[in-house]
Amino acid sequence: MKIMICPDASHARTLAARILSDQIREKPASVLGLATGRTMEAIYSLLAERSRHDEIDFSAVTTFNLDEYAGLHAGHDQSYRYYMRKHLFDHVNIAPDRTHVPDGSAADVEAEAVSYENRIAAAGGIDLQLLGLGENGHIGFNEPLSSLSSRTRVVTLAQATLEQNAVMFGGDPGRVPTRALTMGTGTILDSRKVLLVVTGSKKADITARVIEGPVSALVPGSALQFHPHCLVILDNAAASGL
């Protein structure tokens, strides 16, 4: 792992956006793995701004999102497909058929998970996977005790995740879907490069466990220690437990 510590969250986001932009410039037909969550919003806003100024061209880019809530249709305002349209896809010149988010409303979500994994492989795999970190150490929706070699599948969300994400569902953890489709930890580790972005003091302890702790299924993000090209961007607050 290579760790870069920025003075604050704004610098961390700017650096992450620059790395993504450089990836697209160096390989216009990049396959990007994308993440959701509050950490990513400002990064996507910076990418949208660069695209508006013609500094990056998404026309040949293909994207695969990490995860999606099971049971939410693409138009639901808390679905990750909706999030991606709102924060990125509607603001850049990417062809809709090049954007992939697991279909949480599929009649057979298990089959959708298998098909999603196959679609990633058919696209040639992921060049650069952008990741955030859950407060319990999850990456994508790979919750503690997920197999470190797991593939895209349907999972049950941890109570901690329901609580962390409740704010997006009117503050009520009971309204957060309890299941999701997620790329597996093994799927994520297959990406050629990984960019993990973590900000804020609330994640200081888990960040230290991800980077410095033993590799353990209890902390799914710790599996990234095995990745040969994993860059971690932190702000000072998230790095304060290192």
Buried residues in 167-193 as b, exposed as e (16+ CB within 10 A): eeeeeebeebbbebbbbbbbbbbbbbb
Residue 10 CA: distances (Å) to CA of 52, 76, 159, 206: 20, 29, 30, 21
Site string for ligand GLP, 165-204 (x = CB under 6 A): x---------------------------------------
62/54 Cα distance (integer angstroms) = 18
101 touches ligand GLP by CB under 6 A: no
Nearer to ligand GLP, 133 or 219 (CB): 133
Tell me the site size for ligand GLP, rule CB under 6 A.
14
140 touches ligand GLP by CB under 6 A: yes
* End-to-end CA, the chain: 14
Judged by CB under 6 A, which of 161, 187, 191, 222 binds ligand GLP? 161
Judged by CB under 6 A, which of 17, 67, 116, 152 binds ligand GLP? 67
Nearest to 181 by CA among 160, 156, 161: 156
222 touches ligand GLP by CB under 6 A: no
CB 151 within 8 A of CB 219: no
221 touches ligand GLP by CB under 6 A: no
Residues that bind ligand GLP (CB under 6 A): 35-39, 66-67, 132-134, 140-141, 161, 165
Active-site annotation, residues? 67, 136, 138, 143
